[in-house]
Amino acid sequence: MFNKILIANRGEIAVRIIRAARDLGVKTVAVYSDADRRSLHVAMADEAYPIGPPAPGESYLVIEKIIDVIKRSGAEAVHPGYGFLSENNSFAETCEKEGIVFIGPTSEAIRLMGDKITARRIAQEAKVLLVHGSEGAVSDVEAEVIAKRIGYPIMVKASAGGGGKGMRLVRKEEDFKGSLRMARSEARSAFGDDSVYIEKFVERPRHVEIQVIGDSYGNILHLFERECSVQRRHQKVIEEAPSPAIGDDTRRKMGEVAVRVAKAVSYRSAGTIEFILDQNGNFYFLEMNTRIQVEHPVTEMITGFDIVKWMIRIAAGEKLPFRQDDLSIKGHALECRVYAEDPEKNFLPSPGKLEYLRTPSGPGVRDDSSIYNGYEVTPFYDPMLSKLIVWGGTRQEAIKRMRTALCEYIVLGVKTNIGFLRRIMENEEFVRGEIDTSFIERHPELLPPSLGEISPALIAAALAMRNSTKEVETSKQAPASNWKLLSRKLAVSRNPLI
């Protein structure tokens, strides 16, 4: 096992990796930008080194700076987390050349599966069904011809894409050129590569992915599926495991296909094979993510398998001691991504200081975050505050537990999407499992605050008044104080603040 590893990331995933390393008795090294000087991962790590200005392009994305800190700190390995350099094959290759262990797949696997067109070819050679589309990157003229041939609606997708960037849904031919131009521009800005390919759009698809894990000895297992269909602008909002849409037979087939794709590139470490599931239950290869996923906790909750810890163990040369038959699904897990954003203003980020924070807890509740009272949400990074995960014996139990947990979650100082998430949990179609990637678009009533929902200002006033009652004795002439009135309003809202 390693003595010391560096985490080339920030926020909740850096904290998650530090905790896994501690369980293994491994020391940790953090890196931080000027904006993250007071971040939790910096305080928790055994060592921490500054790497530059807030902008990622001047800090977290600069390979030379990360490598320099690895050498200065004496770390033997580096965990990239997700985002930033996690799927950068040049970073993984540099680590390999410098004798630094990259806690993830080989640079070759990242290169092959990181290019969506190459990944499609590999999947096709592994006899995996693909959504009909172009064979590779296309010019503007070729794209238009292929779009007409396969028929609208179609998707324009960045070859080097991910996270919903460089992706456009085109329903009508007259919108094609403008959408293609925007997709190329976004892809060039996000990935430095404006190449795109064309794919037939599957109406009301479900997004289902399979978690895989492989060691350096050719053993590759799958840890079952996650449903990630509740999305906004192609970005996941709520994830769950297992999927309510598939049975044991489809689960087995998807798992076998995912392992086959992973074996085609001799995959090592944790990775995810993503599929589109149509309304008839047919599934098609979408892409492979060669890193830990944001939503990995739901898989951990239903399998008891610590994915991050095993990434470190595999990188240290350990062999997977399990067989596929040793793994099973227990219960149901849900994850909500809690963001500092304003649903009433088209989900614009809401930077600011967290004046008050109370996170949920209790049986079957897990909150992965790096925030605390007084934490400053800056405009430089993704505004995700935490990942709230719950487990229940059944899907219905998990939904009820998530409702309660979201009611207990209080954040003051910034706008959040917590109320939005609560409304999704109460939506009848969601409760029945009738979801697809257009679920949020089909339910505009989820966006405005519901009647009776408590505003953060009301909560803040209630908390301030409660604190004041500890210091000043309430007058006998005012038995029905403002605090009591507020308490009744809070009780009516079913928000367990008291």
Active site residues: 291
Separation between Cα atoms, residue 284 and residue 275, nearest integer Å:
5
Single out the residue of 204, 218, 152, 160 nearest to residue 179, CA to CA.
152
- What burial class does residue 263 get, using C-beta atoms within 10 Å of its C-beta: 0-12 exposed, 13-18 middle, 19+ buried? middle
- What burial class does residue 489 get, using C-beta atoms within 10 Å of its C-beta: 0-12 exposed, 13-18 middle, 19+ buried? middle
Q: Coil, helix or strand for 459?
A: helix
DSSP characters for 339-398?
ESEEGGGTTEE--EE-SEEE---STTEEEEE---TT-EE-TTS--EEEEEEEEESSHHHH
Please count the CA atoms within 13 angstroms of the CA of 99 that sit on its side-chain side.
Answer: 3
Please name the residues in contact with 38: beta carbons below 8 A apart, sequence gap of 6 or more: 375, 376
Tell the residue number behind the tokens 């909002």, with chain if given.
237
Task: List helix spans (H) across 203-268.
Answer: 248-264
185 close to 196: Cβ distance less than 8 angstroms: no
Separation between Cα atoms, residue 194 and residue 249, nearest integer Å:
39
112 close to 264: Cβ distance less than 8 angstroms: no
Separation between Cα atoms, residue 284 and residue 272, nearest integer Å:
14
Please name the residues in contact with 444: beta carbons below 8 A apart, sequence gap of 6 or more: none
Tell the residue number behind the tokens 């719950």, with chain if given.
390
Please name the residues in contact with 297: beta carbons below 8 A apart, sequence gap of 6 or more: 333, 335, 366, 368, 387, 389
Residue 423 phi, psi (nearest 5): -65, -35
CA dihedral 452, 454, 455, 456 (to 10 degrees): -170
CA 481 to chain CA centroid, nearest Å: 44
Single out the residue of 217, 169, 163, 215 nearest to residue 189, CA to CA.
163
Separation between Cα atoms, residue 149 and residue 72, nearest integer Å:
57
AA identity, residue 401? R
